[in-house]
Structure 1
Amino acid sequence: MISTLDILSNGRVIVGIGAGWSQAEFEGYSEWNKSKMRVDKTYEGLKLMVELWTKDKVDFDGEFYTAKGAVLEPKPVQKPYPKLLFGSQGTRMLELAGTYGDIIYLPPFGNYDPVEAKKTVIQAAEKANRADKIGFMGGSMMGQRITEMNEFMKAIESAKDAGDKYYVVTQPRDEPGLETIRNFAKDIMPSFR
């Protein structure tokens, strides 16, 4: 499915990778495991996904997933595989983000040091010879009211000054989506073209 979307979008798919943080959300699709097992499954699942995107035929025998002569066609447009966006704060996930990720989002909440988290990602990226491939993303996934454009622009500039290459924009659930998107496109996006 991701490969097909990548083809339909002419190589613009960005795949979100995470081990899960919301038990209620997770249980809607699967079993909620302890953090270590969720991270183990994410490591193994991502390894299998990368093999399917990059190899003609895959034999895979993991602890959680197996594949025998699996073929994934068509292959994605992006090479070696679609961009991966990680939203993480735990050490193992940050290391995985540095090893495979293109865009890394360090949430502005939680019990961790964002400076140390960035260092962990960068060290893992350097070890994988891909430090030039990662970019950090500022902003908040918690919903931002885009009412005062000058304040919003200051937040984006602040993220840019902190070295972020990307910025996430989300809106509160009680806000009309289409109107916010139109306002953002009209008032904010022209400043970045």
Structure 2
Amino acid sequence: MPYTPRPRFGIMTAPSQVDYHDVLRVWREADTIPEIEHAWLFDHLMPIGGDPGGPAYEGWTLLSALAAHTRRLRLGVLVTSNRFRPPAMLAKIATTVDIVSGGRLDFGIGVGSRPGHPLARREYEAHGLPFHDSAHAVGSLAEACTVIRRLWTEEEPFDFNGTHLRLTGAFGNPKPVQRPHPPILIGGRSSSTLRVVAEHADLWNIPGGDIDDAVRRSALLDRYCAEIGRDPAAIIRSIHLPVSYEQPGATRDAIGEAVDAGFRHIVLGLAPPYPAAVARWVTDELIGASVAV
């Protein structure tokens, strides 16, 4: 009988419509609970839900602060928008966080916001960032993953001349703590993104909500892996599931469906305001109950 790895549970605290000290409180609590193994932020420069004029923190800066205040949790951004930062700069930022955390970074990246999401689209215009079409975004992501991995692992400067990215004398020093490099998690569901996942990712994340679609996308990823000669089992399947404080049974059901469908990396999204001792509540009401079933 093939070995099936146990599910590994984490939390996601979107750093928007919330105070820094509230996020810090939740992460510090989670860091003391072994059943919670990873924690995540998102990457938006302006709110994409709630009050459009409300607060939103820059994800990587906040992640570095939280890394310094925790000791055990694996941590990351679910997922970094490849549209916001030049990839070589992002590689340097991620290396810094991996060092600050003592080697606990899971590097999450994706193409960036969907063009049809108006509250996400506005953050590009507001920050003077270009918003290219999907084909450009996916092609840029593939090149970014290549360059970032090389900056993390190669000992000599190199040039890179891609369709979207050109670097001269690129070199990363220091290197990340984790060798050969931090695990790469790519988020997305489009077929073009899944081809990038097949080539570059150690983990693949998809938003929950439609488990049948998630299963179909996972099967498509299997096919793309087979086409390039990669073992599909080499890519851990991750899913983000929103938590209902009022109806924990519905969240437990969603967790059960995801685990049964082969998703072994479960990210539980916590909506603000965070209840007191929310990490313990998540552990007792959701993780413990799901593992016991």
TM-score, normalized by length of structure 1?
0.81
Amino acid at match of 2:230: N
1:102 paired with 2:202, answer yes
Name the counterpart of 1:137.
Answer: 238
Q: 1:31 aligns with which of 116, 124, 130?
A: 130
1:62 and 2:162 correspond: yes
Partner Cα separation in structure 1 for residue 182 and residue 124 of structure 2? 24
- Answer yes or no: is the 8 Å Cα contact 2:206–2:240 preserved in 1: no
- Aligned counterpart in structure 2 of residue 153 of structure 1, from 234, 237, 252: 252
Tell me what 1:8 maps to: 100
Post-superposition offset of 1:152: 2.8
Pick closer, same or farther for the CA change 1:59–1:115 going to 2, 3 Å: same
The secondary structure found in structure 1 opposite 2:130 is coil
Question: Residue type of the partner of 2:105?
Answer: V
Aligned residues of 2:109 and 2:185 also touching (Cα < 8 A): yes
Alpha-carbon offset, residue 86 of structure 1: 1.9
Aligned-partner Cα distance in 2 for 1:113–1:148: 23
Q: In the superposition, relative to structure 1, how do residues 28 and 121 fare at CA in structure 2: closer, same or farther (>3 Å)?
A: farther
Q: How many residues align?
A: 189
The one-letter amino acid paired with 2:121 is: Q
Residue of structure 1 in register with 2:39 after alignment: none
* Cα distance change on mapping 1:27 and 1:83 into 2, 3 Å: farther
Task: Determine helix, strand or coil for the equivalent of 1:33.
Answer: coil
> Counterpart in 1 of 2:149?
50
The higher relative CO (CA closer than 8 Å, separation ≥ 6) is in 2
**Structure 1 Cα separation of the partners of residues 285 and 207 of structure 2:** 26
Q: Which one is further off, 49-58 or 116-125?
A: 116-125
Query: How far apart are 1:182 and its partner, in Å?
Result: 4.2
| Stretches of structure 1 lacking an aligned partner (at least 5 in a row) | none
2:198–2:230 Cα contact (<8 Å) kept: no
Shift of 1:14: 1.4
Q: For residue 135 of structure 1, report the CA deviation from its aligned partner.
A: 1.4
Identity over aligned residues, as a percent? 24
What whole-Å deviation, never above 9, does each CA across 1:8-55 have from its counterpart, x for those lacking one? 323221122211123224445521111111111111122111111121
* Secondary structure in structure 2 of the residue aligned to 1:106: strand
**1:79/1:129 CA distance change after superposition, 3 Å:** farther
TM-score by length of structure 2 reads: 0.56
CA distance in 2, matches of 1:68, 1:104: 31
**Mean CA deviation greater in 97-106 or 124-133:** 124-133
In structure 2, the partner of 1:19 is 111
List gaps (5 residues or longer) in structure 2: 1-92, 115-119
Contact kept in structure 2, 1:58 and 1:70, CA below 8 Å: yes
Please give the alpha-carbon distance, in whole angstroms, between the structure 2 residues aligned to 1:135 and 1:85. 9
Contact 1:54 1:81 in 2 (8 A): yes
**Structure 1 counterpart SS, 2:108:** strand
Matched, 1:167 2:266: yes
